[in-house]
Structure 1
């Protein structure tokens, strides 16, 4: 055998077949900045949580206006359990922005399941164009919380008692930049900076899925009582649970079903 046929040992992959070497790829472990990851691969909720209302400093250009992500205090007692706060009427984020939910509920999501994108319609004054209204609310006067029609459109305020949650937000309000926020939230049973509270404005599509082998338990309040007409669905097929093909064929009267 000639020396030309012996691969150089300086090539780490010299012992692989030509086919494998041609298909081989190398994973990049470089970590993009928070602003880039927020709208792509996602971030930890603790990376974007704020101490005051509004976007995280430095993330204004990628933040969805009106969204609030804030730290919550969770007290752990290893021998008993834990206790966590969400809001008070006299202080805290909901108080700061003037949001007082009219209805509270809880929900459980089994491990391996997801809630597809859903969205609530914004309420606008008669004769005002959507882009003009949103510009006034969120760009020109972002801290004038009294101008927000909380009682006429559904805003969601929530926290998670248990599980790991991947959350996605998409701004679909007319005239607003279409921004995406993607982040991981930890339930109170997993103590740490990802124990956050979340507030979502009307017109912002949102979806979530379980991110671990544990069921998710969530608690959420809405600025209006439940109104079926306020519930819009987008790409929510993930919530369906189709029967096995042979079961469906049998139900449909297919004589060839085994």
Structure 2
């Protein structure tokens, strides 16, 4: 803002009890929330704000939702004096059943507090005689088109389905599929030890880069299923140096003597 503007005069009057150098460096925080659609791809949202009771994007977020991503609520039952209990999926009903996804492998992972897992991505299975962009666009039609879940090649590409048992995480998704608009989704998920609307299940399609980091002072425990068994060549890494733990320079220098 200009020095002679009314807003600037008011700002300076409010802070005139500070020295000039500090006032020149001062900023204030805007506590007004942007629209949900804007926050989803920028500063992030609470997972409970975007969870849906049926497959597909949350109403009103169709233009910013990554096609194929599923975020659905999970109910956590607190068992007083003992702990808690929660389901993730059933093969006869629920979100994974609705979209025809039956994980072939289940695993668990722990992330220590203040750590992160860098962006990684799995390749979409594109038939040799198909153009990748056209294939993806047909497989994931616009919001007005009907989704054919049976056409998805779950058995030929890795989809991830996951939930969190403990801790809090910030999750990021980026659509990198050929022919698809590049979109970003950023949201916070709570583990089952923090019961509430942020207890969600998450489904990530092949071709969508994903990363996560701990968002609290405790370890994160996650459980995830994959549509295929793990195949190392099918895991691509993107900007994942955050996972490295380099030795202190003096240690490295000593070892190289």
**TM-score normalised by the chain length of structure 1:** 0.93
1:21 is displaced (CA, Å) by 1.5
Correspondent of 1:16 among 1, 15, 18: 18
Give the stretch that moved more between structures: 21-30 or 219-228: 21-30
Tell me, in whole angstroms, the C-alpha distance in 1 between the residues paired with 2:83 and 2:193.
8
SS at match of 1:199: strand
The corresponding residue for 1:155 is 159
Following superposition of structure 1 onto structure 2, how do residues 107-256 of structure 1 map, counting pairs within 5 Å? 107-139=109-141, 142-253=146-257
Measure the CA separation in 1 of the matches of 2:85 and 2:28. Answer: 44
List runs of 5+ in structure 1 lacking aligned partners.
1-6, 254-258
- Comparing 139-148 and 191-200, the one that deviates more: 139-148
How far, CA to CA, are the matches of 1:112 and 1:18 in structure 2?
37
Q: Which structure has the larger Rg?
A: 1
Residues 14-71 of structure 1 show CA distances to partners (whole Å, capped at 9, x for unaligned) of 1222211211111111111110000000000000000000000000000000000000
Q: SS state of the match for residue 140, structure 2?
A: helix
TM-score (norm 2): 0.93
Alignment of 1:46-65 (within 5 A): 46-65=48-67
3-state SS, counterpart of residue 141 of structure 2:
helix
CA RMSD of aligned residues (A): 1.4
CA distance, structure 2, for counterparts of residue 93 and residue 142 of structure 1: 17
For the residue of structure 1 that corresponds to 2:60, the secondary structure is coil
> Structure 1 stretches (4+) deviating beyond 3 angstroms?
none
Question: For 1:44 and 1:15, how far apart are their aligned partners in 2?
Answer: 38
Preserved CA contact (<8 Å) 2:120 2:235: yes
- CA drift of 1:78 comes to 2.5
